[in-house]
A and B are shown apart, each in its own frame.
Chain A
Amino acid sequence: MTRQQAVDTRELRARYPDVFDRPASARLATPAMIVAAFAILVYGLVDLDFSPSRFFAGLNQLGWITLMMIPPDPGSSLPVYLKALGETLSIALLGTTLAAVFALPVSLLAARNIVPSKLLRFPVRRFLDSIRGVDTLIWALVWINVVGLGPFAGVLAIAVSDFGAFGKLFSEAIEGADQKQVEGIRASGGSALHEIRFGLMPQVLPVIAGQVLYFIESNTRSATIIGIVGAGGIGLQLAEQIRVLEWQKVSFLILMILVAVAAIDFISGKLRFAIIGRRAVA
């Protein structure tokens, strides 16, 4: 039998002043943040010309567009679309591979355990950051100026913008690697190159392979849109059909993209498990 203890509120209050009498600043912090967030939201809506009438007119329009999209129908251009889809997949695969090949040596330079000097690492990291800060679409526009319109510009755009992302991810993977193997190789008299080749790479490669596969998957998505600025692939067809208001073709193209992305998801998921094992992915 336990005895019910009478709760002495006053004593509790005296003992835990932080719980019962929180200062007003602490109690008001969360509501103040929420109010501020919504104030900026309202300001944004006003500044960006959101008017309810325009919104509902647009929704109405969107409803019509959706109705006109049904049923999805490629018309007579199915072969063109399939070719464009193949182009998109090629762009994603080649672009990602190129990026990975070039990013690997650079990521070594950006890793703390390989280049201990902060002075040397800093410019490499900022260089990678600037490449990453520019969107793939902008890179596509730049490459179109260089090699002309077409999927090749898309490959180069994806390669450059992923180079920035991979450089960062790979260097993080390298920094996360276990140093014991490296030390073992150094102890047996290996050179710096041996340390990297036999101490680091066996640990890092599976992680990198997983990331590359993941990027091929996500680049299928980016590759679908770089066509919008003229860098080849299915985005070109999509943008064109939207501009000429061929809604049935648009919905068919969107469906094609969805199916392609789902298929790539499935395949690369299987491959990732095969390369690095089920546990490492999760």
Chain B
Amino acid sequence: MTTAVSILPEQQLAVLNAAYRQAVGRRRLRLLLGMAVFAAALALAAVGAEVNLRTLFTHFGNFLSYFDRIFTLDSGQRVWTDAGEWLWGWRKWLTMLGETLLISYVGTLIGAILAFCLNFFAAENTSPAPWLRFVVRRLLEFARTVPGIVFALIFVIAFGLGPMAGVLAIAIHSTGALGKLFSEIVENADMKPVEGVRSTGASWLSCMRFAIVPQVTAGYASYALLRFEINVREASVMGFVGAGGIGQELVVAIRKFYYSDVSAILLTIIVTVFIIDISTGWLRGRLFGREART
């Protein structure tokens, strides 16, 4: 089959070609300008961050040899040749790790409960009053923008050293993060059941309980599990500021150059994070089907 291709007259073609080139040229210019601005910002940032390539190159050997050192025992052998010597403190470390997990669990659950209580006020479609919505939203925003470890630093002073400060810091940060996600789920909920419940003369509370909550619990649980995963990682460094958990052991080992201990503790943390990731992923898939995983 042949199709006729119409060939435009020379003059018309020239005009169209010129327009095309101009459009492409303009786009290229914009891209080039964007790149130039980005490069300038990078250069400025390099000055600001005191980037010193010479230090990096002269000390880069240090980075590699650091890994060499943390994988070497005091006796000069590789760590994996003598697991008993390498993981000598496993009893203590596992206890600390258990504390870390408990900190993140308690923190996540308290945060999730607070977020659950607050999110209906923050969602556009269920908030009883605009001013309340504004206040709750700013509160959640504050709780999630201030990093958890900053809360931990302050709480360590208020509540004393120990896991309590870590738990409260994680709880507040989780409230902020989950409150936002929860209220977004509520905003996507179907409002017809709410109308149905309201038409029977039910109060706001009953509307939430019988029309919204059954729609959203699966999403809530899925996000809370995801948050737990993130919080395990965060709790592993809470000990840096004295807020309990395995981080305390780690920071001591790093600062005192107990090299093989560093790798052993890092190994236990990484393995734990893997296990938590995999098991919560499995649990989410199990509870809410594959599509709810993201």
Residues of B within 8 A of A44 (CB): 102-103, 105-106, 167
* B-binding segment of A10-18, A137-145, A179-187: A137-145
Residues of B within 8 A of A93 (CB): 41-42, 45
Q: Which residue in B47, B49, B55 is a CB contact (below 8 Å) of A91? A: B49
Using A44-B102, A137-B240 as known contacts, say yes or no to A232 and B49 having CB atoms under 8 A apart.
Answer: yes
Residues of A within 8 A of B154 (CB): 62, 65, 242, 250
A154 nearest CB across to chain B (Å): 7
**Residues of chain A in range 62-114 having any CB-CB distance to chain B below 8 Å:** 62, 65, 86-87, 89-91, 93-94, 97
**Residues of chain A in range 232-266 having any CB-CB distance to chain B below 8 Å:** 232, 235, 238-239, 242, 245, 250, 254, 257-258, 261-262
Residue B210 is within 8 A (CB to CB) of chain A in the complex? no
* A-binding segment of B4-12, B17-25, B158-166: B158-166
Residue B146 is within 8 A (CB to CB) of chain A in the complex? yes
A78 nearest CB across to chain B (Å): 17
The interface size of chain B toward A, counting residues with CB under 8 Å, comes to 58
Using A58-B159, A142-B66, A152-B52 as known contacts, say yes or no to A41 and B240 having CB atoms under 8 A apart.
Answer: no
Residues of B within 8 A of A41 (CB): 105-106, 109-110
Residue A45 is within 8 A (CB to CB) of chain B in the complex? yes
B45–A228 touching, CB < 8 Å: no
B164–A55 touching, CB < 8 Å: yes
A225–B48 touching, CB < 8 Å: no
The complex places the Cα of A44 from the Cα of B103 at a distance, in Å, of 7
The complex places the Cα of A245 from the Cα of B154 at a distance, in Å, of 9
The complex places the Cα of A258 from the Cα of B146 at a distance, in Å, of 7
**Residues of chain A in range 11-60 having any CB-CB distance to chain B below 8 Å:** 37, 40-41, 43-45, 47-50, 54-55, 57-59
**Residues of chain A in range 117-138 having any CB-CB distance to chain B below 8 Å:** 129-130, 133-135, 137-138
Residue B62 is within 8 A (CB to CB) of chain A in the complex? yes
A54–B159 touching, CB < 8 Å: yes
Q: Which of A97, A221, A224, A228 has most chain B Cβ within 10 Å?
A: A228
A151–B48 touching, CB < 8 Å: yes
Q: Which of A45, A48, A89, A229 has most chain B Cβ within 10 Å?
A: A48
Using A138-B250, A138-B266, A141-B254 as known contacts, say yes or no to A229 and B49 having CB atoms under 8 A apart.
Answer: no
B146–A147 touching, CB < 8 Å: no
Residues of B within 8 A of A261 (CB): 145
Using A146-B59, A228-B241 as known contacts, say yes or no to A48 and B49 having CB atoms under 8 A apart.
Answer: no
A225–B164 touching, CB < 8 Å: no
Residues of A within 8 A of B178 (CB): none
B157–A47 touching, CB < 8 Å: no
Mostly, the A contact residues are: helix
B142 nearest CB across to chain A (Å): 7
Which residue on B lies nearest to A60, using beta carbons? B158
Q: Which residue in B46, B234, B237, B274 is a CB contact (below 8 Å) of A133? A: B274
A90–B44 touching, CB < 8 Å: yes
Q: Mark B42-73, 1 if CB is under 8 A from A, else 0.
A: 10111111111001100110110010000000
**Residues of chain A in range 253-282 having any CB-CB distance to chain B below 8 Å:** 254, 257-258, 261-262
Residues of B within 8 A of A232 (CB): 49-50
B48–A228 touching, CB < 8 Å: no
Residue B120 is within 8 A (CB to CB) of chain A in the complex? no
B153–A242 touching, CB < 8 Å: yes
Using A48-B106, A147-B55, A239-B153 as known contacts, say yes or no to A135 and B159 having CB atoms under 8 A apart.
Answer: no
Q: Mark B263-294, 1 if CB is under 8 A from A, else 0.
A: 00010011001100100000000000000000
The complex places the Cα of A89 from the Cα of B146 at a distance, in Å, of 16
A155–B233 touching, CB < 8 Å: no
B51–A94 touching, CB < 8 Å: yes
Residue B244 is within 8 A (CB to CB) of chain A in the complex? yes
Using A93-B42, A135-B237, A141-B251 as known contacts, say yes or no to A146 and B266 having CB atoms under 8 A apart.
Answer: no
Using A89-B48, A93-B41, A152-B55 as known contacts, say yes or no to A228 and B149 having CB atoms under 8 A apart.
Answer: yes
Residues of A within 8 A of B273 (CB): 133
Q: A54-B160, A62-B158 are in contact. List 18 more A-B contacts (CB 8 A).
A: A47-B99, A49-B163, A49-B164, A50-B164, A58-B155, A89-B48, A134-B266, A135-B237, A137-B240, A138-B237, A142-B254, A222-B147, A228-B241, A229-B240, A232-B49, A239-B153, A242-B154, A261-B145
23 pairs, A vs B, C-beta closer than 8 Å: A47-B99, A47-B102, A50-B164, A54-B159, A54-B160, A58-B158, A61-B158, A89-B45, A89-B48, A91-B49, A94-B46, A142-B63, A147-B56, A152-B49, A152-B50, A152-B51, A222-B147, A229-B240, A232-B49, A232-B50, A242-B157, A254-B150, A258-B142
Q: Which 3 A-B pairs have the closest CB atoms?
A: A90-B48, A58-B159, A90-B45
